[in-house]
Amino acid sequence: MHNHKILILNGHPGASSLSKSLCQAYMDAAEMQGHTVRFHDLSDMSFDLDYGQSGYSDPKPLEPDLETFLSDVEWASHVVLATPLWWGGIPAKLKGLFDRVLLPGRAFDTRNTNILGVPKPMLTGKTARVLLTSDTPPLLLRLFYGNAVKKILSRQILGFVGITPTRFVSFAPATDANDAKVKTWLDRAASLGAKAA
């Protein structure tokens, strides 16, 4: 079996969450299969999430947690993100993480664009898996909301910097899920982790 280098990001800003449990299940199974895993927990990361008035020519220096995270993204062959769906999108701190670390020179090259003017991605050769928790059932997310969060993550964030394809698995409705349902979800995450999928 090919050994994968896996970066796991728990994108829930709370200290404990279903997202974190899913990450743990994925990580434990992946490590048991010999994959190398580096784990980042958004709730433990300290950084200014506001990009502010800085321009691309004069960005804020990356805090140590951000530099370590970005270095691990560059290192990884597979990126796993667990995130809740809040107000149709991702949590503010997670969005701030992307705003701060996905910058020209490390994530994309503004000096090298395609015919449409899109910068060349610099984080290519990586795949992604998103573990999405929500109270919106997947069918409603697709039919009523057009899978907006999936399009943003797969096309406008991860895909833009070259991480592709992004595959999703939804865990919903999450808030009042009973223990049996949660166990099923954790087993699903572990199954994905064992395959580094």
The answer to whether 88 and 148 have CB atoms below 8 angstroms apart is: yes
pLDDT band at 96 (very low <50, low <70, confident <90, very high): very high
Ranges of H-type helices in 47-178: 64-75, 92-101, 138-143, 148-151
pLDDT at 90 over 80: yes
The answer to whether 118 and 158 have CB atoms below 8 angstroms apart is: no
Closest-CA residue to 59 (of 50, 68, 69) = 50
Q: What percent of the chain has pLDDT over 90?
A: 85
Class of domain 5-195: alpha beta
* Distance from C-alpha of 70 to C-alpha of 175, rounded to nearest angstrom: 31
Domain boundaries, the chain: 5-195
Tens of pLDDT, residue by residue over 38-88, are 999 999 999 999 887 766 777 889 999 999 999 999 999 999 999 999 999
Strand boundaries in 68-107, DSSP class E: 78-84
Give the per-residue pLDDT at 16. Answer: 95
The answer to whether 105 and 74 have CB atoms below 8 angstroms apart is: no
pLDDT-wise least confident of 57-66, 124-133, 152-161: 57-66
Residues composing the chain: 197
Long-range CB contact pairs, 142-151, < 8 A, 24+: 145/88, 148/88, 148/89, 149/85, 149/88, 149/89, 149/90
> What is the residue type of 172?
A
The stretch 181-195 carries a mean pLDDT of: 97
Packing angle of the helix pair 92-101, 64-75 (nearest 10 deg): 70
Give the per-residue pLDDT at 11. Answer: 98
